Chains A and B, each alone.
Chain A
Amino acid sequence: MRMIVIGGSAGSFDLILSILKGLDREMNTPIVIILHRLKNTKTILEDYLQRQSHYVVKEAEDKEFVKAGHIYTAPSDYHLLLDENLRFSLDASEEVNYSRPSIDVSFESFSFALKENCCGILLSGANQDGAIGLKMIAENGGETIVQDANEAEFATMPEAAMAIYKEHTVCALNNIIKKMNSYAK
Chain B
Amino acid sequence: MIEFSELEEIIVLIQKQYGYDFSGYSRASFLRRINRFMEISDMKTVVHLKNGLVNDPDNFNVFVNEIVVNVSEFFRDPDFFKSLVDNVFPYLASYPKINIWSAGCSFGEETYSLAILLKEMDLMGKSRIYATDISANALDKSKKGIFPNKDFKEYSNNYFSCGGKKSLNQYFVSDGHKSIINSELKKDILFSRHNLVTDGVFKECQLILCRNVLIYFNEELQNKVLELFYDSLPVHGFLALGNKETLRFSSVHDKFKIIDSKEKIYQKIK
Contact = CB atoms under 8 A, between A and B. Distances in A.
B71 A83 contact: no
**Quick one: which of A62, A75, A83, A84 has the most chain B CB within 10 A?**
A62
B27 A84 contact: yes
Interface in B47-106: 69, 71, 77-79
Contacts of A113: 4, 28
Interface stretch (B14-22, B213-221, B251-259): B213-221
A153 interface: no
A34 to B, nearest CB: 15
Nearest to B248: A61
A112 B244 contact: no
A83 B215 contact: no
B77 A92 contact: no
A82 B31 CA distance: 11
B71 to A, nearest CB: 5
Contacts of B215: 62, 78, 89-92
Interface in B1-34: 3-4, 26-29, 31-33
B4 A112 contact: yes
B30 to A, nearest CB: 9
Contacts of A62: 214-215, 244-245
Interface of B is mostly: helix
Contacts of A93: 32-33, 69, 71
Interface residues of B, number: 27
Contacts of B219: 63
B26 A83 contact: yes
A32 to B, nearest CB: 13
A40 interface: yes
B183 interface: no
B77 A112 contact: no
A136 to B, nearest CB: 9
A101 to B, nearest CB: 12
Contacts of B244: 61-62, 75, 78, 90
**Quick one: which of A75, A81, A90 has the most chain B CB within 10 A?**
A90
Contacts of A82: 28
Contacts of B79: 40
A92 B214 CA distance: 11
A92 B28 contact: no
B101 to A, nearest CB: 20
Nearest to B219: A63
A63 B216 CA distance: 10
Contacts of A112: 3-4, 28, 31
A102 B173 CA distance: 34
B161 interface: yes
A90 B217 CA distance: 10
A147 B219 CA distance: 38
Interface string A66-94: 00000000010010011110000111111
Given A91-B29, A92-B69, 5 more contacts: A63-B219, A63-B249, A78-B244, A84-B27, A91-B215
22 contacts: A62-B214, A63-B219, A63-B222, A63-B249, A78-B215, A78-B244, A81-B28, A83-B26, A83-B28, A89-B28, A89-B29, A90-B244, A91-B32, A91-B69, A91-B216, A92-B69, A92-B242, A105-B32, A108-B35, A109-B32, A112-B3, A113-B4
List 7 tightest A-B contacts by C-beta distance, closest first: A81-B28, A92-B212, A89-B28, A89-B26, A83-B28, A93-B69, A90-B215
Interface of A: 40, 61-63, 75, 78, 81-84, 89-94, 105, 108-109, 112-113
